[in-house]
Amino acid sequence: MALAAGLLLVACGDDAPPLVADDSEAESDQSSSSVESVDSGSDAGQIGPAEDASSTLEEEPLIFVVPRTVRQGESFVVAVDGPGAGFASVAFNGQFISLLREGSRFFSILGLDALTPPGPMPLTVAVADASGRPQVQRETLITVTDAQWLIEVVELDESNSDLLDPVILAEDAAARDPIFRVESPERHWDGIFDPPSTGVITSSYGVLRSYNSREPQEYHSGLDFGAENGSPVLAPNAGVVAWVGQTRRRGNGVLIDHGGGVFSGFYHLSEVFATEGQVVNIGEFIGRVGATGLATGPHLHWEVVVHGVTVDPVQWIRLLDFPDPLAEFDPANAIQGPNQLRS
């Protein structure tokens, strides 16, 4: 691992512990959730027995996974163009996810943890007709590449060091994690996201955090924007405010549900002006930059969370990298291979 030059000027404690890939399988009894946990060895993608697979679709659905080579921490698109299809789903990394539908396009955005092991990962997409009868099931692989994260040294005083306590980390997760398990079954966001602050980025996603020059135990789970105390924080895209609260680790925070399993989080705020259930548009004022929680100075910590996985926000604010599920895909790049329901 390489060492980032110098010490971090403004830092926060919004990191993802410990330094192992997150393969947890969160479960929820909320009926509105479109995600279920599955065992990695199960036939998670199969939506029915082979004998039910007599085709009733208008034409063979085209299944896309874009891109097929994905760096640690990145997001990617799974899409199905299926005229006449009624349902589509994907099984990936221990989750079974129902795809959203707009017209004849079914889609979802998936993400990789910063510490996802490099190498091939299987993915299964299943398509059913309007009556729910299974029609197509195909499996493919994505290739995960190593991001080669840097190490970032953060010097903490005693009061901030106390916030590294695992008990405090667990309290923080307990306050926020249930929010991610209830997903809106529709897309609220529209296109590329805007940065939520005009401040300068002072710390990137994925860097391994060395507190007081000790061995790294966590990686940074978002982007930090250094800005003056009280500077405005704006909604990066449309959504519904899903949570407003405070934890000892992250201070004052807000979570926006952008729909379809996509959330964004804003932490260390000095003031919050959003309320739970509020519908917000892109650029809407939701709070002010602060230094609450584990922070060495005023800044905004911004996270993007996809189906419970914290991903690199930079991809969401760059036009050429944005994981656009409504893009036009070349039919020549559709997933090939046998229909497992008929093989």
Could you give the angle at the alpha carbon of 164 between the alpha carbons of 163 and 170, nearest 5°? Answer: 90
Alpha-carbon separation of residue 216 from 88, 211, 219, 296, 311 (angstroms): 41, 7, 8, 18, 19
What single letter denotes the amino acid at residue 146? D
Residue with tokens 């279920």: 36
CATH classification number, 35-147, choose in 3.40.50.300, 1.20.58.190, 2.60.40.10, 2.40.30.10: 2.60.40.10
Q: What is the mean pLDDT of residues 55-62?
A: 80
Q: Are 37 and 96 contacting, i.e. CB atoms less than 8 angstroms apart?
A: yes
Position with higher pLDDT, 60 vs 1: 60
Is the pLDDT at 23 greater than 70? The verdict is: no
C-alpha–C-alpha distance, residues 334 and 313, integer Å: 27
What single letter denotes the amino acid at residue 279? V
Please give the pLDDT value at position 5. Answer: 32
Alpha-carbon separation of residue 36 from 98, 106, 187 (angstroms): 9, 18, 19
Q: What is the mean pLDDT of residues 139-165?
A: 88
The model's confidence at residue 12, banded by pLDDT at 50, 70 and 90, is low
Residue 25: CB partners within 8 Å, gap ≥ 6? 37, 38, 94, 95
C-alpha–C-alpha distance, residues 265 and 179, integer Å: 11
C-alpha–C-alpha distance, residues 337 and 309, integer Å: 29
Please give the pLDDT value at position 339. Answer: 85
Is the pLDDT at 103 greater than 90? The verdict is: yes
Please give the pLDDT value at position 6. Answer: 31
Residue with tokens 């229909």: 339
Please give the pLDDT value at position 4. Answer: 38
Domain limits of the chain? 3-11+156-316, 35-147
pLDDT tens digits for range 240-296: 999 999 999 999 999 999 999 999 999 999 999 999 999 999 999 999 999 999 898
Q: Are both 3-11+156-316 and 35-147 of the same fold?
A: no
Please give the pLDDT value at position 199. Answer: 97
Q: In this structure, what token pair is assigned to residue 240? A: 């519904």
Q: What is the mean pLDDT of residues 76-95?
A: 96
Domain 3-11+156-316 has CATH 2.30.30.60: no
Q: What is the mean pLDDT of residues 132-141?
A: 94
Q: In this structure, what token pair is assigned to residue 126? A: 């299943």
Is the pLDDT at 228 greater than 60? The verdict is: yes
Q: What pTM did the predictor assign?
A: 0.86
C-alpha–C-alpha distance, residues 118 and 317, integer Å: 25
Q: Are 186 and 108 contacting, i.e. CB atoms less than 8 angstroms apart?
A: no
Give the H/E segment covering residue 268. strand 262-269
Position with higher pLDDT, 33 vs 324: 324
Residue with tokens 């969370």: 305
Give the H/E segment covering residue 171. helix 166-180
Q: Are 130 and 84 contacting, i.e. CB atoms less than 8 angstroms apart?
A: yes
Q: Which range has the worst mean pLDDT, 40-54, 142-156, 285-299?
A: 40-54
Q: What is the mean pLDDT of residues 194-221?
A: 90
- Tell me the average pLDDT of the chain: 86
Please give the pLDDT value at position 35. Answer: 57
